[in-house]
Structure 1
């Protein structure tokens, strides 16, 4: 696949964003290429257990696209997790902020309060949807609170991680119905309603009060990102 080979070429040439995206691509295909036969059998199980038959076409679309994509990634070969982690680490070293957050989480590296505060400032200043999403995905690993920390309201409490992710979606991160995030949810958890990530999260919340809380938390993050 020309797109994959071009991405790999740019990553090997030292492009930090391409290095992160290459790691993302390998990661999205890991559970497919690890055992394609088992993956296909899992799809058969998903078809028989899907509660809403109107969701089946979306499952078929996601499965077809993922199998084709992953068949073109290294010819369908298994890419070991250490290589995936290595590309995230390389991207982080070359300055990609989202990769830095991800690398910290994968290596289970706990940052101190000073570095955590700097990470938060960097993410808010970056205007980078990928970094904002990674902050939400790795919040536990990348933020250490000190007593009276002014960022406590952003980084702790109910729906903190989710709020960062939704903020990233609104900034343009790939949260659309056919993106990798929703593809993973469909293929792995049978969440195949054809909705985007924010709509999925809103539907999964238990009450209107939680939805209102999430909206407030997202608005606050976006306000800070925009420098208001």
Structure 2
């Protein structure tokens, strides 16, 4: 039985763990990010987009290996709008070659989103078929999310080498090139560019000043329960699972795509196994419905408002 099944079944029975999902989803798949962080990871800053595989692992049309042109004016929009994330990744790789740090960050997002599929496309589809036969509402939602992910990541194969190590290396490269979001993601991964209290406080302040939704999302895990008792985060919205979610919802309000079929909701459901029973529900509604107790709603509102304003301090 594929290893993904027990994890997904358990998570469907425990929606309260929503607070710990998105940036941690890799911990339950081979080559997880936690292992990458703890091991000897190549972070030379020369990570490149993997070369296309010569032989597909399953019957599929031959994919184009030339670099497509025509990224949208907002290159970040491709993560949500492009039906072919392999092609989008090639476009980003071309931008990286020209020194675009934000393209490096977005490429790491594509790697992270598609890695579970690319590792074993046939196994991924087999798991999806197994899940579909379970027949519950939660399982049906997961099947839909996994289908969306598979359709958009179908250009990738195991030979592309997508892995937690590749995600981490790409983020190190992007951070060193000037991507604030990548820098924040490294802090969330436990691999900050500098481990000092002063650096971490300054990084949080820079993210708040930027009001960049990608940077807010990237920083969210660092501001959750793992920030409890850390002097670097004293006074900020930080220290528990609700703070982590507040950063994510604030990212939505600042412009991150958080709709029912967006990358964030799809990741929670397809990768972490945490799915809304309402297929039309966006991320913010899902958070308040599944993870925030009624008596804690006003506190959550206050934290989110402070973050959206770029203040990020507890009242």
Shorter-chain TM-score bucket reads 0.7 to 0.9
Distance 1:38 1:167, change over 3 A: same
Q: Aligned runs of 1:12-161 on 2, under 5 Å?
A: 12-52=97-137, 56=140, 59=142, 61-73=144-156, 77-109=160-192, 111-139=195-223, 145-146=230-231, 151-157=234-240, 159-161=242-244
Aligned partner of 1:207 among 267, 288, 293: 293
Higher helix share: 1
RMSD: 2.9
Q: CA deviation at 1:65?
A: 3.0
TM-score, scaled to structure 2: 0.62
Question: Which consecutive residues of structure 1, in runs of 5 or more, have no partner in the other structure?
Answer: none
TM-score, normalised to structure 1's length? 0.83
Deviations 1:160-182 (A, max 9, x none): 11111111111011222112221
Q: CA deviation at 1:152?
A: 2.2
| Aligned residue pairs, count | 222
The alpha-carbon distance between structure 1 residues 72 and 143, as it changes in their structure 2 partners (threshold 3 A), is farther
- Paired residue secondary structure (1:154): coil
Over 3 Å counting, the alpha-carbon distance change for 1:52 and 1:59 in structure 2 is same
Is contact 1:101-1:142 (8 Å) kept?
no
1:206 deviates by 5.3
| Counterparts of 2:159 and 2:289, CA distance in 1 | 35
Q: Secondary structure at the match of 1:72?
A: coil
Give the secondary-structure state (helix, strand or coil) at the position aligned to 1:49. coil
CA 1:74–1:66: 2 relative to 1, 3 Å = same
Whole-Å Cα distance in 2 between the matches of residues 75 and 107 of structure 1?
27
5+ residue gaps, structure 2, are 1-83
Contact 1:19 1:90 in 2 (8 A): yes
The residue aligned with 1:183 is 266
